[in-house]
Amino acid sequence: MGEVFTESPDIIHGRLLESVHVTGYTMSRACVSLEYLLEDDRWKTLGDGFDNIDKFIKTINLEQFKIAVDKRQRLVKKLDELHATQRATAKALGVSQPTVHNDLKPDKDLSKQPVVTDTPSPLKDSDKDLSPEPAPPMLSMDGTDAAEKLEKVTRGKKRGHLSEPNVKSAGKAQLLCGDAEHLPLDPDTVDVIITSPPYNLGSEHWPMGIDRTPRDEGIGYEDERDEPKYQAWQIRCLIDWHRVAKDGASLFYNHKVRQKEGTIIHPITWLLSQRNPWVIRQEIIWDRTSTHNHCSVLFWPHDERIYWLTKGKPILPEDSIGESTIWRFHGPTPNTWHPAPFSEELPKRCLEAIGRPGIVVLDPFGGSMTTCRVASAMGYESIGVDLNKEYIEKVRAAQNE
């Protein structure tokens, strides 16, 4: 390693834990210190002792450092030799699990990987009348190139702040024009679905809030149906999403409790329908910290719901990220071209929780394709579908600028 340590392993470990606060503590020193603790099983002697490598590396958080590829790969391989899980390794080094997976492949040269390539549309013959648009390479959803896009995404504890890259290559993505109720996809195609449908708010509720004005054009498609028809439509969507999902797939379904004529309409109403083939696993409360639309009731609804549903028994990562069921982060930036964009933090947290190498992510209500953008930057393949051809054209125009 080129450096001789005179302090005890416990002192070296302590400095590594507080590295962000220690003046002059560099990325190189952090890597050397961690390598030293991994050699000769010194990590087992720390404190009261560790009997499991994952328990030890869960105490490490190097996300504040931009670790050089060669140093990261050396650490990844050493941790793999000690039987650390890829998930725990990724979290300790502040990178994505696909990055760790790629580091362990023989003769892997990340610098030579293509950022994106075309992926054929997995259309069924019976769905050709939907006329999905061909899927071009998705370099970036906001008009930046791939390198600039990757600089916006990071893992770790600094929630809501996307700044540092977490992968060295972007995942492929397709943009398809199609109906969320009749997806132009084959059965058993996707592993994770992250989406938020129109809320059926009606034009008089879109949006309402302090210093906000309604958009005359609404949200770009119908958002004012008879409530029973709306709920039946949502169930039909859930059924088709179940069709295209693989066994063990996860669905993260974002909706909200609406107020209408003094009473509430809760999304759990149709999710509990016997026609819904998905298994409801958990309810997450999203505290948006503000509201973009509301009715004149006593309290302003700052919260939304995110339901985790699965197709049968879920396929889960090796360990939990320790996230609670209360998520607090601000909604997306207002006054964007899309009237209801996702916050990037939402799909990011979902993928941090359930992501694993090789998965395909779907957003059947793609809109401005935030889910695809985040999935791609985290190294996952993705498919974005939207009924509004204009939205897809705007996204593609942004990529080509």
| Residue 336: pLDDT over 80 | no
Q: Predicted confidence band at 72 (pLDDT cuts at 50, 70, 90)?
A: confident
**pLDDT surpassing 80 at residue 190:** yes
Residue 9, SS3?
A: helix
Contact 169, 112 (CB under 8 A): no
> According to the model, what pLDDT value does residue 277 have?
97
Return the pLDDT at 340.
64
Q: What's the pTM value of the predicted model, to 2 decimals?
A: 0.60
Tell me the pLDDT band of 302, cut-offs 50, 70 and 90: confident
Is 328 or 48 the better-scoring residue by pLDDT?
328
pLDDT at residue 157, as a whole number: 33
Task: Pick left, alpha or beta for residue 291 (phi over 0 → left; psi -120 to 50 → alpha; otherwise beta).
Answer: beta
- For 150, phi then psi, to 5°, come to -65, -25
3-class state of residue 373 by DSSP:
helix
Per cent of the chain over pLDDT 70 is 69
What is the CATH number that goes with domain 125-400? 3.40.50.150
Place of tokens 């509720």: 205
Higher pLDDT, 18 or 221: 18
Q: At 9, list the tokens.
A: 């392993």
Domain residue limits, the chain: 9-103, 125-400
Tell me the pLDDT tens digit for each residue of 141-158: 333 333 333 333 333 333
Task: Give how far Cα 274 sits from Cα of 251, 277, 308, 383, Å.
Answer: 17, 7, 17, 28
